[in-house]
Structure 1
Amino acid sequence: MPSGNIRIIAGRWRRRLLPVADSIGLRPTPSRVRETLFNWLQDEIEGRTCLDLFAGTGALGFEAASRGAKEVVMVERKRDLARSLEKTASDLGAGSIEVHCADALTWRPAPDKRFDLVFLDPPWSGPSPAEALKYLGDIEAIAPCALVGIESDRKTEDRSLPAGWTLRRRLCAGQVRYGLFERDPPFAP
């Protein structure tokens, strides 16, 4: 059952309102945060393979698809939210969006799948973005030189990322701390 809407900011679905399912603990990424994050990424979305690991409302994944991501994979553990994401993708005619109902830290992409743009916005009471990033690295799901947008609770202690990541930008807005990180290029002898 929808409890509200999110608005796509730019791209082919610009200004389109998407329903937000009513679910306990669901916290849509604020428009201001999405707009800043996607301004940072504006020249780096087209043609990327994107993962929205804790999809929730799908705001980040739908925004990336609207702006030209080649493929968007959304992973959401709550079945009602996953169904809502599938319906929204179908209503948009977005064949480039794939939704998986699974736990973020046990889900595995196809063995040859590598993501070059990842969004990590876990529930604030859930695993840390650093844990999720380490998991993705452990299962070799992240492409070399990938970009990762991370959102977390401003009050939460900033946990360090696994080695091999460089902070590009970081800001706070209200209760949200968010940043853009880049995977360091592989070492070439």
Structure 2
Amino acid sequence: MRIYGNRILKTIPGQLTRPTSGKVREALFNIWQGTITDCRWLDLCAGNGSMGAEALCRGAKEVVAIEQYGRACDIIKQNWQQIANPPQQFHVIRGDVLTKMSSLAGKKFDRIYFDPPYKSDLYQPVLEAIATYEILDETGEMAVEHDPKLWQAIAIPGLAICREKIYGNTALTFYETESS
């Protein structure tokens, strides 16, 4: 897999993770163009870490991933070590995304990317946790990748849907913090 700057990333063989397609990845970074440099990026259900790696390549100052699978966490660390430059920081948290969300309480992220397995039941509880722990910065934005036939975006108290983009069988729904 190649990302920004023609960098090659290691991937996990088999079907354990589903990387975000190049088309969707490029579209997201075009939408968020000019907002990645010096941002704090959170990658939920990170897979091989391609989205966080792309954020590092584009100048994010801090990238954090939560990923359940140990082998995937090892791949993320290897990929990010190749890309990160001082003073960029990264951290990979291994574990269930819902269980680990509380460890982020008190931290704020400018950009959050959430890409769970499409058929999972994680969408609403993770969005609620992000709102409850106030993890998304008040000027930040979150993108949720999903199959529009399997999950319909919903507003969550504390988070408002600001737009949705569809790319074939993949949708990106964008959230921002709800104005008081």
Judge same fold: TM > 0.5, yes or no.
Answer: yes
Partner of 2:123: 129
| 1:72 and 2:66 correspond | no
Whether the aligned pair in 2 keeps the contact of 1:164 and 1:183 (CA below 8 Å) is yes
Whether the aligned pair in 1 keeps the contact of 2:68 and 2:95 (CA below 8 Å) is yes
Identity of aligned residues (%): 29
Whether the aligned pair in 2 keeps the contact of 1:37 and 1:180 (CA below 8 Å) is no
Unaligned 5+ runs, structure 2? none
Inter-partner Cα distance in structure 2 for 1:164 and 1:136: 9
Q: State the Cα deviation string for residues 71-128 of structure 1 (Å, max 9, x = none).
A: 0001100001001111112233455221111111010335432112100111112234
Give runs of aligned pairs for residues 4-23 of structure 1, distance below 5 A.
5=1, 7-9=2-4, 14-23=5-14
| 1:170 and 2:170 correspond | no
2:157 is paired with a residue of what secondary structure? coil
Moved more, 117-126 or 21-30: 21-30
Closer, same or farther: CA 166–141 of 1 in aligned 2, 3 Å: closer
Inter-partner Cα distance in structure 2 for 1:169 and 1:112: 26
Report the structure, 1 or 2, having the larger helix content.
2
Q: Superposition RMSD on alpha carbons, in Å?
A: 1.9
Closer, same or farther: CA 93–160 of 1 in aligned 2, 3 Å: closer
TM-score of the pair, normalised by structure 1:
0.84
Partner of 1:102: 95
Whether the aligned pair in 1 keeps the contact of 2:114 and 2:144 (CA below 8 Å) is yes
Query: Number of paired residues?
Result: 177
In structure 2, give the amino acid aligned to 1:140. Answer: E
Partner of 1:152: 146
In structure 2, give the amino acid aligned to 1:84. Answer: I
Whether the aligned pair in 1 keeps the contact of 2:106 and 2:133 (CA below 8 Å) is no
Whether the aligned pair in 1 keeps the contact of 2:48 and 2:72 (CA below 8 Å) is yes
Partner of 2:44: 53
Unaligned 5+ runs, structure 1? none
TM-score of the pair, normalised by structure 2:
0.88
| Runs of 4+ residues over 6 Å off in structure 1 | none
Inter-partner Cα distance in structure 2 for 1:112 and 1:167: 23
